[in-house]
Structure 1
């Protein structure tokens, strides 16, 4: 069975190297919708694949990190990077260009790492991330599956090279959330919902 949870965020970016002049040469924004799809062949003690309420913790906080932020590719021009950091309190540094496709891969990797570090305590079994769908516009989206997120052909995305501004971190219930995700520290599910 597959379940789906929808998240939303507003974000600005420049997608260098794309075909469209407006997108590759001017900072612009989108109202993103992110669909998180989980799957399992089993149901927990509440007869659910995965309680939607559990997604309001770390998963929502990580996705919300992109809200009202500038997504910056660490391979962009140094002056541009420094200007974005100087003029925006909320930014996310990515090791890939912030295209819709790469957003879906990055978010997949972030949430997959968090899910793998989660200790289930309500009878959840076999829960895995099926895919991430990122809607950049009403008519266009990218969907990443595990084979896309972990694809060397599409480019390796080292999670440790993703960085968040101080203001983004201050919005988390635990300012060390990202370091805990990276280290594989166990998260108890549910902590308190």
Structure 2
């Protein structure tokens, strides 16, 4: 069974080396929609694949990091990178271009890391990330599957090269969130007292 949770954010970027002159030479923004699809072959004690409320924690914090921020490829022109850091309190440096395709890979890697480091506490079984869809416009989206993460033809995606600005990190409920995930420190979903057995 699949479940889907939708997230939204506003973000600015430049997509270097693309065919569209406007996109590769001018900073511009989009109203993004991110669909996170989880799958499982069993239900938890609440008869859910995964409680949607649990996705309002670390997963939402990471995706919301991109809201009202500028995302840039860390290999872009140093003057442009310096200007982004100087004139925007909210920015994210990525080891890949901030295209819809790479955003879908980045969000897949982030959500997958959160789930892998979460101890389930309400009978969840074999919950895994199925895919992530990033809608860049009303008519265009990119969808990432697990095999796209390790595909060398899509570029390396080292998580340790993702950098969130001080302002982004300060707005997280857990300012240590990113370091915790990089360090592989586990978290635990809340215990649930069963009301019906």
Determine the structure 1 residue equivalent to 2:15: 15
SS at match of 1:156: coil
Displacement of 1:190 in angstroms is 2.8
Give the unaligned 5+ runs of structure 2.
193-197
Show CA shifts across 1:2-44 (max 9, x none): 0000000000000000000000000000000000000000100
- Paired with 2:33 and 2:116, the residues of 1 have a C-alpha distance of 24
Query: Matches of residues 1-193 of structure 1 in structure 2 within 5 Å?
Result: 1-190=1-190
Within 2, Cα distance between the matches of 1:19 and 1:86? 28
Alpha-carbon distance in structure 2 between the residues aligned to 1:191 and 1:85: 41
1:121–1:191: structure 2 CA closer, same or farther, 3 Å change rule? closer
1:96-132 per-position Cα deviation (integer Å, ceiling 9, x unaligned): 0000000000000011011000000000010000000
- How many residues align? The count is 192
- TM-score of the aligned structures, taking structure 1 as reference length: 0.98
Deviations, residues 140-192 of structure 1 (Å, cap 9, x unaligned): 00000000122112111000000000110011011110011111111111379
Runs of 4+ displaced beyond 3 Å = none
1:99 & 1:162 partners in 2: Cα distance? 15
d(CA) in 1 for partners of 2:46 and 2:9? 30
**CA–CA distance in structure 2, aligned partners of residues 49 and 152 of structure 1:** 31
Tell which structure's C-alpha radius of gyration is larger: 2
- RMSD of equivalent CA atoms: 1.0
Unaligned 5+ runs, structure 1: none
Q: Could you state the TM-score of these two structures normalised by the residue count of structure 2?
A: 0.96
